[in-house]
Structure 1
Amino acid sequence: MPVVRAFLPVAVACGIFAFMPAAHAADEAAYFKGKTITYIVATTSGGGYDFYARMVSRHMARFMPGVTFAVVNRPGAGHVVGANLIYAARPNGLTIGTFNTGLIYAQLVGKPGIKFDLRQMSWIGKAASDPRMVVTGANLPFKSILDFRKPGPPFRFGASGIGSAAYSETIMLTRAFDLNVRIIPGYGGTHSQLAILRGELVGMMGGESSVQSFIKGGKGRAILQIGGKPEAGVPLARDLPTSPEGKALIALISSQAELARFTAGPPGIPPARLAVLRAAYKQALESREFNTEASKADKPVDPGFGDNVEDVVKAAFDQTPATIALLKDVLGRKPEATSVPGAKLTHVSDDGRMVTFTGADGKTVTSKVSGSRTKIEVTGKAADRKQLKAGMTCDIAYTPGTNNEPKTIDCR
């Protein structure tokens, strides 16, 4: 059963409006009646972020009579797309959302495409702490994280988009323990778990709340834990031998594990209006109904509220130049090409510049074909991209990213 504990002491229990004139507080609460609050989820449906978003918004609505919550999934670029949308929204209190803690890493190293500053957002709360777990298939032979040091073909680990916590932290884990691991991006939500069962992957790293059902269902096995209260029978990363650099990386991952399942809005939401959202959030997460639902779904609850969460987020950016340089070095590695054998081209633009096919994780991939860098063959002969046609079956190797540019396209 989830254990609910205060993230930090709250000065005035249920006293969100303690220093606000009663009439003003009532006016701000009345502002929301009859309106719709859009809750943006920066990932696909079906995963842990989506589950918490729908649970949080559903229970917040109970404490905001007359208000409708609309949950909208806006995945892309490792949660950057959704976070950018939340940040750019009008600060009227009618757009809030959730995204991955990996964006703290992304902002620290200055990832391209970021149009937000997490330090400036209007923080409402966080629903959980989420220790990281490295998981493999229950029927696979791996018993220790150090098994993945063995030479030979790289071991395939899945992760969601480049820049997400799962992707960034898997790179950091690989560096910390000198693992022979190849990270395959694009496996968001539960797709990594399904790919392990299909034999496409051998492992993944994710939040405990996302992998619990996979493990308890007997399909997965946890072989390493980073952060949080120790789970029986699961080795702790902090106890394994590694270099001083490795210990620094593990410590950074562990610190981020305390922050999970955020809810935030754009900068500049009027304080009184933000207080209404924070009050509803606090009431929701402390309610018996919320915790009963979370318990039945086997989802941990470890809430934090308002200014307390804001302070912890800002503290996460207080890193030494040496740590930031190490992070840039680790996360600066370019992604390896992803291979999709036997992919059917479902759409090809007239000039062949854009092709669409189904990726290894079952998702649709749209790739921008380079006229000079992409090597193309059709029935064993060198070809031009204009010779690509919808319906062709091809072996495609592409680099995941904004353009998903193919390195090779071999059609038959």
Structure 2
Amino acid sequence: METGTIFLYLVCGLIPLAVVAYFLATRRTFSVKFEGEKFHSTPGSYGWYATICTLSPALLASFVAAVLQLTGVVEVPGTALVSTVIALAAGGLYVGVLTVKPSLRARAIVEQMVVKMLFVASLVSILTTIGIVLSVVFEAIRFFEIVSVWDFITGTSWSPDGVSAGDSDVKGMFGSIPLFAGTFMITAIAMLVAIPIGLFAAICTAEYASPTFRKIAKPALEILAGIPTVVYGFFAAITVSPLVVRAAEYVGLQADFTNALAPGLVMGVMIIPFVSSLSDDVITSVPNSLREGSLAMGAYHSETIKTVILPAALPGIISAFLLAVSRAVGETMIVVMAAGLRANLTWNPLEGMTTVTVRIVDALTGDQAFDSPETLSAYGLGLVLLVVTLVLNVISLVVIRRFRQQYE
């Protein structure tokens, strides 16, 4: 559907009719015809009832037309769709206004419609998640028909360059261990930076800082979350990486300019606001009765934080850590610009490494055919990464539930 058709559909069609339906239904409640009778609901409820009657058939027809067009069953002309939808909306307006009467339980109808809308909204998110998982699974199955799951998970060499769909010998070319090793290495470095600094910053702003300092420090810290990742990538490649190389040479070590340490450090700085902001909100939500009880027993402020506040806020803090890990695992731009694309299995963070998400982007943006093993490997990597993050989520939920039961 063209932009002009959508404009005609909304601005010149449904929105004016919905507004007219609302005001006509509202005015009908003050009609002389019903003078002396008591309406069940407020005038606004009847207005929303007429609006629902106007929009429901039109939106349903639009949804059916969209499904038919997306599935290729029939091509729906834009003009015919707009005409049909406006006619249905006009009919719904007439029925909605005409059925307004004192005995109509408009408020109950509107509330039921709101509940249905909320249910549909939750269903959309669930179906979207299922669709994402299935799309990855089906394409990953095609990849695992070419490369065995065992070779993919346990292989230590990633060299898919030049492999075509007709090649039969691909064993050993798609070992994912170097990619996941790089992912976990850079993520671990980022967490070593973000978790202590973010948590200490949250404790400072929540427990020690004055209100004036808190009003300045917290927004200033959260500015880091608004900086584009490509800017962090420039900073890592141009500033931090040469500093890492010079620092390594100073202590007698050799470091590559595309090393894993530089993007890990910069990524950790980028993630600090996620940890600090969420942890600060959780710490400040701990009831003051716990603080006052600990202080009344003679504990110092630092002891109260360590033995009372942090254990009580631990479920929320773990959630903040999990969000930070997910953000680090999914980061691509910083790694591309500062760590490179080389799949390198090593424990040395001063060497170049790459991550799963970088290889996924590289596989899907190259000039290979869509059915080539290198392109399909992106879905295999995505599926394994999905399973890994799911396991991490399950572990974190178990920990959160255990501590929540202990401190409730």
| TM-score of the two chains, using structure 2 as the length reference | 0.23
Determine which structure has the larger helix proportion and give its number.
2
Relative contact order: is structure 1 or structure 2 higher (C-alpha 8 Å, sep ≥ 6)? 1
Larger radius of gyration: 2
| TM-score of the two chains, using structure 1 as the length reference | 0.23
